[in-house]
Chain A
Amino acid sequence: MKPRSKWSENTVRRVLLLPLLTVALVGVAQAQVTVRNQADAETEKEVLEVERQKDQAIRNRDMAVLDRIYVDNLAFANGRGKVLTKAQHMEEIRSGNVKYLNSDRSDFHVHVYGGTAVLTGRENSTVEYHGKTISSPRQFITVYVKLDGQWRYVAHQVTPVAEP
């Protein structure tokens, strides 16, 4: 019987080891993607819930809820490109200068980057703005950042959608 050589035994081990490591490393990569996707999906759900609470608070003029959701140094630009502070924006809602007559928002997309979520969507809600009724479609962005465990509304901008 021919004796087994040391070299061939090592080769066999290496051949066995390589696929094992490959499988393990592919598993690591897949697991990381899965974890990220799960976390992003959870973030999306949480952010959309905060967005819903914010919309409801605007309709109900619930300033306490808005104060909790908006950061103090909010960056807000309305559909006329006018920049408002948190205090100015909240005063427009509180005073009734901005009134939501109905709510129609759609086409939400949430892009998640760790503790930051960029939400975009389309709005067709009918709004009374300083006595003028607006119902034309608008495209908006809202940026949420997680601060002290809470998703906070840090920036918002609206752009009217032009006729094709």
Chain B
Amino acid sequence: MRRILLLSLLTVALVGAAPGQGTGKTQSDAEAPAQGTAKSQSAAEIEKEILKIESERDQAREKGDNATLNRILADDYFYIGVRGNVRTKANRLDDYEAGVIKVFSVKKDNFMFKIYGDTVLMTGRETSITQYRGKPNDKPRQFTNVYIKLDGQWRLVFHQATTIGAPW
């Protein structure tokens, strides 16, 4: 009996180790099942959920609430700021911790969502009043957020902002 149990356990374990199996998504099984901006109920629900997370993130930005930001930003989150600087999650949290970045008020609009299965592209315009290294910014900027569902939770994996109308 014990031998049978042992054999079964080892078989299960070894089958799990076979190439192409396991939890690592392969390209074929990861193809996005939903696409476009179809306003199905599920798409509407996803948009609502993302907007709720965005609201929580914005409040956390204003308060410098790193615990909430840590929960929302994926571990490998990174962003491209309006100066074209590339920053990691750790950089960003340090900036809030040190008060290098301050968000005085948040104003965002013109949202658009494109949903591809567990990936949501959110674009919009931001006119929030912020301060980075003592330099205020109230210029309108266009942004892109990429949310991915990881372990059942929507996490922000990427953010980019571009000043609207700036000399190029």
Where the two chains meet, the residues of A that have a C-beta atom closer than 8 Å to any C-beta of B are 13, 17, 20-21, 24-25, 27-28, 30-33, 35-36, 39, 42-43, 71-73, 75, 77-83, 111, 113-116, 118, 120, 129, 134, 136-139, 141, 143, 145-149, 154-155, 157-162
Contacts and interface: CB of A to CB of B under 8 A. Distances in A.
Contact of B119 (A81, A136, A145): A145
Interface residues of B, number: 59
Given A24-B9, A148-B31, 12 more contacts: A31-B18, A39-B26, A75-B121, A77-B144, A80-B168, A82-B165, A114-B27, A120-B80, A146-B31, A155-B144, A157-B80, A159-B80
B124 to A, nearest CB: 10
Nearest to B150: A113
A118 B168 contact: no
Interface string B1-31: 0100010011001101111111111111011
Contacts of B116: 115-116, 145, 147, 154
Contacts of A111: 76, 157-158
B90 to A, nearest CB: 16
Nearest to A17: B6
A-B CB proximity, top 9 nearest: A114-B30, A161-B84, A36-B24, A81-B164, A115-B30, A24-B13, A32-B22, A162-B83, A81-B142
Nearest to B84: A161
Contacts of B24: 32-33, 35-36, 39
Nearest to B24: A36
Contacts, number: 180
B17 A138 contact: no
A79 B167 CA distance: 9
Contacts of A73: 36-37, 114
B122 to A, nearest CB: 9
Contact of B84 (A77, A134, A139): A139
Nearest to A146: B31
A118 B144 contact: no
Given A24-B14, A75-B112, A161-B84, A39 B25 contact: yes
A113 B144 CA distance: 17
Interface of B: 2, 6, 9-10, 13-14, 16-28, 30-32, 35-37, 76, 78, 80-86, 112, 114, 116-119, 121, 123, 140-142, 144, 146, 148, 150, 157-158, 160-166, 168
A39 B27 contact: yes
Contacts of B150: 113
Nearest to A149: B31
Contacts of B37: 73
Contacts of B140: 81
